[in-house]
């Protein structure tokens, strides 16, 4: 079975994740498990949620979207396996998100992914 597609990360959510990674001199993770999100490789845990700061891809936040509404679509885009991909926090695409508040499109194929800043 083949898979692939694109997702959008909103700049308003992603900027704090990028900043946290820069502050901690670490990478940003693109994670697929219970949803699809980006997070800093290192960072503080939120004392209320006991989780790190995350930025979910639009439509793939299990805290706001029912699993029945995103699970199959995410499987079609990313495949069935959970994963974590490491991305340098100084990636030029993150720089454009950070400086110009561009949203970020992530194009995913079976073998790679690509970060594409999107002008609103």
| Residue 4 structure tokens | 């692939």
**DSSP of 88-103:** -TT-HHHHHHHHH--E
- Alpha carbon distances (Å) from 116 to 29, 30, 53, 66, 82: 16, 14, 22, 27, 22
pLDDT at 66: 92
pLDDT in tens, 103-112: 999 999 999 9
CA angle 55, 73, 52 (to 5 degrees): 20
Domain of residue 22, residue span: 5-117
pLDDT at 49: 67
The structural domain count of the chain equals 1
pLDDT in tens, 27-79: 999 999 989 999 999 988 877 766 778 999 999 999 999 989 999 999 999 98
């Amino acid at each position: 079975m083949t898979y692939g597609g694109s997702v959008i990360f909103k700049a308003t959510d992603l900027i704090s994740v990028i900043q946290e990674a820069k502050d901690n001199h670490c990478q940003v993770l693109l994670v697929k498990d219970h949803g699809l999100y980006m997070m800093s490789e290192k960072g503080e845990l939120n004392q209320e949620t006991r989780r790190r700061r995350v930025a979910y891809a639009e439509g793939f936040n299990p805290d706001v979207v029912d699993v029945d509404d995103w699970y199959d679509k995410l499987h079609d885009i990313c495949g069935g396996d959970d994963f974590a991909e490491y991305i340098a926090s100084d990636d030029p695409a993150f720089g454009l998100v950070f400086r110009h508040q561009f949203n970020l499109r992530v194009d995913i194929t079976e073998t790679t992914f690509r970060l594409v800043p999107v002008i609103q």
